[in-house]
Structure 1
Amino acid sequence: MLKWLVRLFILMILGTVLGVASLVGIYFYIKPQLPDVTALRDIKLATPMRVYTKDGELLAQFGEIRRIPLALADIPQPMIDAVLATEDARFYEHPGIDPIGIIRAATVWATSGQARQGASTITQQVARNFFLSNEKTLVRKIKEVFLAWRIEQNLTKDEILELYLNKIPLGYRSFGIGAAAQVYFGKEVKDLGLDEIAIIAGLPKAPSMLNPIRSPERAFARRNVVLGRMLETGKISQAQFNEASNMPIKASYHGAEVTLHAPYLGEMVRQKMVEQFGEDAYTMGLHVYTTVSAERQSAAQNALLDGIFAYDMRHGYRGATALLWKNGESPWDYQRITSYLANQNTYQPLTAAVVTKLGERSATLILKNGKQAELGWNGIKWARTFITDDRQSYAPKSARDVLKVGAQIWVREQGEELFLAQIPDVNAALVAMNPQNGAIEALVGGFSFELSKFNRVEQARRQIGSNIKPFLYATALEHGYTLASLINDAPINQWDPSKGPMWQPKNSPAVYDGPTPLRLGLAKSKNVMSVRLMRAIGLDTYIDGLTRFGFPKSAISPNESLALGAAEFTPFEVVRGYSVLANGGFLVTPYFIDRVTDSQEQTLYQATPTVACIDCQQPEYDVTAELTDNASESSGLAPHTISTQSTFLITDTLSTAIWGGNGWRGTGWRAARDLKRHDISGKTGTTNESRDAWFSGYTPNLVATSWIGFDNHQRGLGNAEFGGGAAQPIWIDFMKVALKNIPERKMPVPAGIITANINSETGLLTTGSGTSEYFKEGTEPTRYTAPLSDGDHVYSGDNQDLQGPVSTDDIF
């Protein structure tokens, strides 16, 4: 017997030695294949790119992986307790591999025939998640064991646990408990209840099967298993267990916690970041801070939507989206209606709804969120039937004239009231920027990014119409004209056979005032005066002038219709051009990214824009000099492309376009009525057949351009639609918020500007009653209007006495 015991003991010794030798051999065989675990100390977790306003509101998030990295100190203890109790109760005791856990799992498997308990420790899971695949092979398991042991030699337990809690996949592309708390509950981890903590702690075993959204019953059972283990380990009391285990599952999918809707701007940022950092931009945890403020961006979004819906309501109702059941058919029940609505898209601020009952002047609806609501007459009465863009039917007299029971419609909420609505055909864009440095203050590229990702601010080339005229007049001022120079406001009937079919531009309205000062020609947007003025300075001179406002020469066709805005520019280019007028003549470069930091808030990029600075030391402005911005690169100054005196004169004239004078209203009179500020200047623009409507306006520190039209270039807005009535209200509603609490600050009169009293009928000086006009010093009239007598001409000299090199044909 003793001899057998000795043999058995020797055999055990040999087995142990062979086992250890085998392990050592396996280790040295596999060692070259094992990664360096010390890299975990500097590991950079794949974290999505997050885009913010300059005041810290999240406006977009990009990247398939959802992760919100957390330091272990920021994770509530109940979450740590729940994970440890469920995944690795002896985590702080074992060296990375838990022999007791392995024996316990093996015993359960042997007695039950099922692998009911896992044997992998948290350290092993870290090894697998960071370095290995999920393939179920012996080699992978051996590598996992050795890596776990090496990780334990190089990292503390707390470091390992922190990596695990931030790396573990938890379903719906969420990685780590920070992202899971947001995805399932829309909360930060610190705000989770015990029942919610237990749900997340139960997910690592099988995120897809135990998902509280996809499988609430399984999630309920798994949550209570986690709570039971917390009770067994003494981490919660019986009372806490009873309360949490009886809570219903209330999880639902939450997207990124975007607090400001700006998808067009977010997409512009995404493209820039991928251009700069490649595909790594989606995973390197970039924090991108834009130049927009939350308040102004929100105001721009609301103004654009209100302008679109106002246009839509003026042109009639195009009918319900669908009729779910007809008269005489069995009505759908509540469950069927809500199931249908759940599959309908949401286009903020529109909500899908179904009409379930009609009154004489009201309708009962079921909304997409399942609630029942009343649509009152105030929200219905606008809905004359759409016939064409210029025609609608008679106003409805009852709700039945507009709606049918069973109709799927769209509604939008205004205050506490619902309004019947529709997905608009028309679209719009609004962009605002700081003219002093080019920082974009707000940007909205269309009605809905979900419907169309086409960004009309930077991609839509549309005819600019009369929005181009300030640049024509500014160019004329640069070449000897004054605001008192007279141009003949009379129909153009001359025909040059060499230029093709006869072109007869007309004023809108068709009123002609004869010889008229440039100030009134621009303020009243006289078309024929613009054509005559362009002929006087020359087409090439005009085109060169447009490039000095930043307009690309490639987009400018050299023909006379250019005087009336036949060129196609983007709103981005237009707002940049107007910024030159607002800042004293400097061509700033628009930018929308202020800075970029990494996941540790270390700065990777900081914008250094060139700025407008009238008082800074720089070479004297020269209108004949070739346009260049080389000097600006070293000085930090934007190139000075138009004289400060000319921009002041145009700005003052565009203030006249807002306020009018002497019994006439400027084309932008609505801004005077609604904003009641005297530091605003602006210009309307409307193209042929009203295919495009514009308004651009500014103060010294803010310039904005609004556009409205159809993406189909051939479709007009309607004969009654113009820039002042369609586009300007968008601009006004934005400016009401953007300029709130900002004191009036008119552009100061620059050096080199004087005033003189002139006769507006002659453009000459007068000793009698006249008009005070600004002039560049040295360009003011030198002759006086002679007293009139019967048969005398109004001028005291020949045409050369008129201010500016104006030919006889251009005057009479």
Structure 2
Amino acid sequence: MAKYRGGRSSKSDKRKAQPGGFKAGLWLWAKRIVVGGIFIAILGGIGVFTSVYFAAQSMPSFTSLKQSQNGQTILVRARDGSEIVELGPSYGQWVDARDIPQVMKDAMVSVEDHRFYSHFGVDPVGLARAVYNATLEDRQVSATSTISQQLARNIFLNSNRTLDRKLREAVLAMALEWNFSKDQILELYLNKVYFGGGAYGIDSASRKFFSHAANELSLEEAAIIAGLVKAPSRYSPTADIDAAVSRANVVIGQMVRYGDLDPAVARQVDVDAVNLREDMGQNSIRYFTDWALPQLDLLLPNSVGFEPIEVWTTIDVGMQRAATTAVQSNVPDEAQGAMVSLDRDGAVLALVGGTDYVTSNYNRATDALRQPGSSFKLFVYLAALEAGYTPDDRVQDVPVTINGWSPRNSGGNYAGEIDVRTAFAYSKNSVAAQLGNEVGFSNVASMARRFGITSQISTYPSMVLGSSEVRLIDMARAFAAVSAGGQSVEPYGIVKVTTADGEEIYRHQQARSYRLVPDYVAAGITDLLQTAVATGTGRAAQIGRPVAGKTGTTNTNRDGYFVGFSSGITTGVWMGRDDNERVAGLQGGTAPARAFAAFMRYAVRDRPEEEFDTDLQLPQWQLEPDDEFYMGEEDDYYYYIDDQGNLVEPGRTRSPRDDGFDVEGEGSNVRRDPLDPRGLENSNQRPGTVSPDSNQQKPPPAASDDFLERATGQDVPGDQPRQRQSSDDLLTERRY
């Protein structure tokens, strides 16, 4: 029995001791977890310390970090020196900590990291609160980065939202705190953080939005800038002033909340009263900068590098606005428009490449190849005047067929016998075709090339009506050369380039001007162009002072052109659809001419009225068809043109092909004397037909090299024979 009791007693004792043993086990495991946690924390601390230590040791110096600015800032100025646009990353001037207004420091710290002065790069309190809130709300942890973390990310990392990047950001933030003081970190941050619109740093932002340096920032302006960091594009004052003001008021409230601003002062703050810098021409001006600024690669020396530069351009801000308004107000629905305006020396005063740069940045003024229609007749009549025609000569406006091609006049009407001036003013297609055939279609192409057309030009008969595609800026250049009396004009947009300190590193040198046609030819074509506006198809381009110009309309109204000049300013306008579809009612004499007039009234308002020189002082060979003309006096303006439109060297033996019509029937390649009894006027031959006796007409010999140099403004080798050029050579000879 005793043994039994003892057995029962032993079991009872074990049952009584069991609770105490369970507690001991729990305590043991708790101790193990705590010890393990401490051990892991120590290891983690050692790891973090090691990472921070090595990051701090390898971190660049404060001076190096100040200079770590990538990319070039280009400040573009108008012809009057005003700032019109700033491109590329802009860092402004570096502002030392002692020069940063205290309101700027307080505003930034209050809204971005109010415990900045108490943490060690990472804010444990803020992180714990973020984790707690995320646990309650069942969403992802999204703690706001400290100023030190933001600086580390801006300098060393990207913006990827990954755990690895966040860990490295934290380590680098603590390394920054290890190496630099709080004032140095804040100085780096305020000079490098992005504020939108390409502006990095408070000085760049201050100049962009308020037109003054950062050390002059007011409380209201500092609040606006501080509010941009969270979302630069959303709160930009140039994009949404209401959103910017609302965000700035939040910043003011944060400053009051954390003791950086007296509530009484805050009640007097009026953010709405801040004067913002006017953003001039940010839209259409980009068409001009897209054309002009790539030229810097050729204009500037390689030594410039990435230092900030200022580009002084030829653009007139007022004219640019007027050009933009003129295009947008007159362009037909669903169509595009372009305009380019040149001063008498080739300076680009205004350039609009489309109705809206934001919608489409394709530059139709400089890049688009479109048919110019009858505005191309400029070169047909230039060739005819050079060949001996005058504005008063009689021509036949009758149906004609050339190599199977039968051009028709607009409306299908023919006037019979009229003078050249009337034929041009009313854009008679029949007469242009006959003149082109007589002087040679290749000579017309050569004349276009001579006046600056850089695109491919065909020599098919229809080319006289503008079937070859051209660039608007090239057409404006050609008409500007006529305005200059037949002297060449080279468009340019950059006057000079300076460093940010004002050191000049480039200045435009005026291109050598050379004579394209004699004075009497320039006077004759100006007479025709003036008549076209006064009484012809370009009447809508009248502006109350002398205007010379030409309309152009392509088949089925796909393109509308007007190019003209007045008081030394030449302007070209194109309108049409990008998909080359028909535009109902579009003609060069309607919307394009009206846009020209609207712009030119503004452009010439401060310029004196100028009468055109249309007095034709014809050379002797046109006035007196005597033997001296056929003996080839050197003072005569004369030179041979081959079938490719090139000068023929003096003394070259000419082939039968040179002496008359070519096998394609393009016409004689020599000048016609209108009073020559062997000419068309005194024969039974009708313009536009091929005479069987044409090969018997003997032109005078070519002029000497000295005369050619005087006549064309170009050097001609004296002893070495000049090489003939193919049309392909001419096509690629001049690019700009």
Report the counterpart of residue 548 of structure 2 in structure 1: 681
| SS across alignment from 2:360 | coil
Report the counterpart of residue 148 of structure 1 in structure 2: 180
Q: Say if 1:196 and 1:227 are closer, same or farther in 2 by CA, change over 3 A.
A: farther
Matched, 1:240 2:265: yes
- What amino acid is the match of 1:464? P
- What amino acid is the match of 1:687? T
Instruction: Name the CA distance, whole Å, in 2 between partners of 1:749 and 1:59.
Output: 40
| SS across alignment from 1:480 | coil
Q: What are the residue-to-residue correspondences of 1:126-137 with 2, within 5 Å?
A: 130=155, 135-136=166-167
Report the counterpart of residue 300 of structure 1 in structure 2: 323
> 2:487·2:516 contact (CA, 8 Å) conserved in 1?
yes
Q: Say if 1:275 and 1:143 are closer, same or farther in 2 by CA, change over 3 A.
A: farther
Gaps of at least 5 residues in structure 1 are 1-21, 92-97, 313-423, 611-636, 660-664, 755-774, 784-796
Query: TM-score by structure 2 length?
Result: 0.64
Instruction: Name the CA distance, whole Å, in 2 between partners of 1:217 and 1:725.
Output: 48
Instruction: Name the CA distance, whole Å, in 1 between partners of 2:555 and 2:519.
Output: 33
Matched, 1:227 2:256: yes
- 2:484 pairs with 583, 588, 591, which one? 583
Instruction: Name the CA distance, whole Å, in 2 between partners of 1:109 and 1:545.
Output: 76
Cα offset for 1:778?
Answer: 3.9
| SS across alignment from 1:288 | strand
Matched, 1:733 2:598: yes
- 1:800 pairs with 676, 687, 695, which one? 676
Instruction: Name the CA distance, whole Å, in 1 between partners of 2:504 and 2:394.
Output: 56
Q: Say if 1:129 and 1:805 are closer, same or farther in 2 by CA, change over 3 A.
A: same
| 128-137 vs 579-588, greater mean Cα deviation | 128-137
Report the counterpart of residue 443 of structure 2 in structure 1: 541
Report the counterpart of residue 431 of structure 1 in structure 2: 340
- 1:257 pairs with 279, 301, 305, which one? 279
Matched, 1:638 2:518: no
Q: Say if 1:691 and 1:199 are closer, same or farther in 2 by CA, change over 3 A.
A: closer
Report the counterpart of residue 669 of structure 1 in structure 2: 539
Cα offset for 1:297?
Answer: 0.9
Cα offset for 1:104?
Answer: 13
Report the counterpart of residue 394 of structure 1 in structure 2: none
- 2:202 pairs with 177, 183, 196, which one? 177
Gaps of at least 5 residues in structure 2 are 1-46, 134-142, 159-164, 237-241, 627-672, 689-736
Report the counterpart of residue 656 of structure 1 in structure 2: 531
Q: What are the residue-to-residue correspondences of 1:613-632 with 2, within 5 Å?
A: none
Report the counterpart of residue 443 of structure 1 in structure 2: 351
Question: What is the aligned residue count?
Answer: 572
Instruction: Name the CA distance, whole Å, in 1 between partners of 2:121 and 2:576.
Output: 73
Q: Which has the larger radius of gyration?
A: 2
Matched, 1:810 2:674: no
- 2:103 pairs with 33, 55, 78, which one? 78
Cα offset for 1:23?
Answer: 14
Which has the larger helix fraction?
2
- What amino acid is the match of 1:529? V
Query: TM-score by structure 1 length?
Result: 0.58
Identity of aligned residues (%): 28
Q: What are the residue-to-residue correspondences of 1:692-771 with 2, within 5 Å?
A: 692-699=559-566, 701-718=568-585, 721-748=586-613, 754=617
Cα offset for 1:449?
Answer: 2.5
- What amino acid is the match of 2:579? N
Instruction: Name the CA distance, whole Å, in 2 between partners of 1:104 and 1:669.
Output: 74
Q: Say if 1:215 and 1:429 are closer, same or farther in 2 by CA, change over 3 A.
A: closer
> 2:353·2:362 contact (CA, 8 Å) conserved in 1?
yes
- What amino acid is the match of 1:439? A
> 1:779·1:803 contact (CA, 8 Å) conserved in 2?
no
Report the counterpart of residue 35 of structure 1 in structure 2: 60
Cα offset for 1:217?
Answer: 9.6
Which has the larger strand fraction?
1
- 2:622 pairs with 779, 788, 791, which one? 779
Cα offset for 1:296?
Answer: 0.9
Deviations for 1:506-532, whole angstroms, at most 9, x for unmatched residues? Answer: 333544444433333323322222111
Cα offset for 1:647?
Answer: 1.3
| SS across alignment from 1:547 | helix
- What amino acid is the match of 1:35? P
- What amino acid is the match of 1:800? D
> 1:45·1:167 contact (CA, 8 Å) conserved in 2?
no
- What amino acid is the match of 2:478? G
Report the counterpart of residue 165 of structure 1 in structure 2: 190
Report the counterpart of residue 469 of structure 1 in structure 2: 377
Report the counterpart of residue 363 of structure 2 in structure 1: 455
Cα offset for 1:301?
Answer: 1.0
| SS across alignment from 1:640 | coil
Cα offset for 1:684?
Answer: 1.5
| SS across alignment from 2:592 | helix
Q: Say if 1:529 and 1:43 are closer, same or farther in 2 by CA, change over 3 A.
A: same
Q: Say if 1:776 and 1:146 are closer, same or farther in 2 by CA, change over 3 A.
A: farther
Q: Say if 1:591 and 1:121 are closer, same or farther in 2 by CA, change over 3 A.
A: closer
Q: What are the residue-to-residue correspondences of 1:490-501 with 2, within 5 Å?
A: 490-492=398-400, 494=401, 499=403
> 1:82·1:227 contact (CA, 8 Å) conserved in 2?
no
Instruction: Name the CA distance, whole Å, in 2 between partners of 1:109 and 1:538.
Output: 84
> 1:683·1:695 contact (CA, 8 Å) conserved in 2?
yes
- What amino acid is the match of 2:355? F
Matched, 1:516 2:422: no
Report the counterpart of residue 197 of structure 1 in structure 2: 222
